[in-house]
Amino acid sequence: MRLKNSLLCVVAFSGLALAGWVHASQTKVTPQVTQGGPQTVVKLRIPLRFLNPAVTPANPFKPVHLLIKPLPTDKPVVHQVVDFYQENKSYEDLFSKKGQSMLCGPASLANALVYLKHNRDPKFEKIAVKHADELKTNGDYIPLLFKLCHTDREDGTSAAELGIGAKMLVAEGGYGVAQIGEQGAWADEKKQVKSLTPELLKELCVKPDKAVVLLFGWYGAGRDKNNELVYQRNGGHFVFLAGYDALQSDVFYVSNPLVDYSPLYPLRYSKLTLKRLAGNIEAPEHMEWFTNDLVGGNFAILENLLVVLPTLTFKAPKVAK
């Protein structure tokens, strides 16, 4: 599936953004990000070295492998999360032809659903009840969601597709839906197109009745066809929003499927600090906050999120006449 080239302000899009590692595209008239991502170019009005000395045109896409752990002075307020590692060899048959894992969407949504089903108070214990035979372990959620969310082995998953999978597993338990949908720069509904701010993320975290999946776009330094210095979107990544810091308004904690947390037990999440984009970057509208702390890339802009909030009102499934 391909999207026609379009222009948003001064920023060119030649595809749609998915969430994962590499390039991807997605159908929709409204731009909608998935993990591999469109070739979104963010132009700079000042020298790159001034904005971000850690990124240089000579080495634009060097991944960051440094896991940021909470400090003794931090005060994390986090959900109980599960270690879903997308590079686990048990999922090898779902990898791309080149052996890359585009499973960050299913892995992050799995964390959201396991939280709602087992760790939320009160619990939504009937989520995915019709797939109980397929879900012998938590890890079995990933191949199930790969199927239900129509994840592409090469391109990954969109937030909208994650929402479809979440609605299916919530509805089959007989639960109502208070909210399952996107917010952010790429949201399908016009009223949900908005800037995602630290204040909004904390608001979503403070009341632990919902689960939230975040989509970051990864940008690297390079030059466009006019030889202008740019940050170009070279992928995207879904993570599960595990919580916030009670003392620092710009610090959050995520469960990142690109991190194998098993050697770090009981730690199941990473720390990231959000920073506002400088006014001298011409970025797409509603994309205002970034981090350098997300394992997998070196400059990640917060683009979209998916909220999963069922209700305990039981709705009996319709019986076919």
How far apart CA 77 and CA 299 sit, in angstroms, is: 25
* Nearest to 24, CA basis, from 36, 41, 12: 36
Calculate the dihedral angle through the C-alpha atoms of 32, 88, 71, 238, rounding to the nearest 10 degrees. 0
SS3 state of residue 130: helix
CA angle (266 as vertex; 265, 270 as ends), nearest 5:
85
How many Å apart are CA 136 and CA 232, to the nearest integer? 41
Please tell me whether residue 48 adopts helix, strand or coil conformation.
helix
**Average pLDDT score over the chain:** 81
Cβ atoms of 131 and 144 closer than 8 Å: yes
57-61, 86-90, 150-154, 242-246: segment of lowest average pLDDT: 57-61
Q: Average pLDDT of 247-261?
A: 96
Bridge partners, 300 (sequence order): 218, 291
* pLDDT for the residue numbered 302: 96
Work out the burial of residue 66: count CB atoms within 10 Å of its CB; fewer than 13 is exposed, 13-18 middle, 19 or more buried: exposed
Percent of the chain with pLDDT over 70: 79
Query: Which range is least confidently modeled, 46-55, 272-281, 282-291?
Result: 46-55
Which segment, 39-43, 139-143, 173-177, is predicted with the most confidence on average? Answer: 139-143
Burial class (CB in 10 A: 0-12, 13-18, 19+), 188: middle
Q: For residue 227, count other CB atoms closer than 10 A to its CB.
A: 7
**What pLDDT is stored for residue 315 in this prediction?**
53
Average pLDDT over residues 182-195: 92
Residue 283: alpha-carbon gap to chain centroid: 19
Give the residue extent of every domain in the chain: 6-314
Maximum Cα–Cα distance across the chain: 68
At 18 the pLDDT is 40
Query: Judging by DSSP bridges, how do beta strands 300-314 and 211-223 pair with one another?
Result: antiparallel
Confidence of residue 10 (pLDDT cuts 50, 70, 90): very low
Q: Which of 14-23, 80-89, 182-191, 215-224 has the lowest mean pLDDT?
A: 14-23
Instruction: Please state the pTM of the whole predicted model.
Output: 0.82
Q: If pLDDT is split at 50, 70 and 90, which confidence band does 33 have?
A: low
Mean pLDDT of 5-30: 29
Confidence (pLDDT) at 22:
27
Give the pLDDT confidence score for residue 35 in this predicted structure: 67
Report the distance separating Cα 246 and Cα 113, nearest Å: 24
Given this model, what pLDDT does residue 229 score?
Answer: 77
Q: Which residue has the tokens 């952010």?
A: 184
- The pLDDT tens digits for 52-102 are 444 443 333 444 557 899 999 999 999 989 999 999 999 999 999 999 999
Residue 257 has pLDDT above 80, yes or no: yes
Return the pLDDT at 219: 87
Structure-block tokens of residue 75: 């005060």
Could you tell me what percent of the chain has a pLDDT over 90? 60
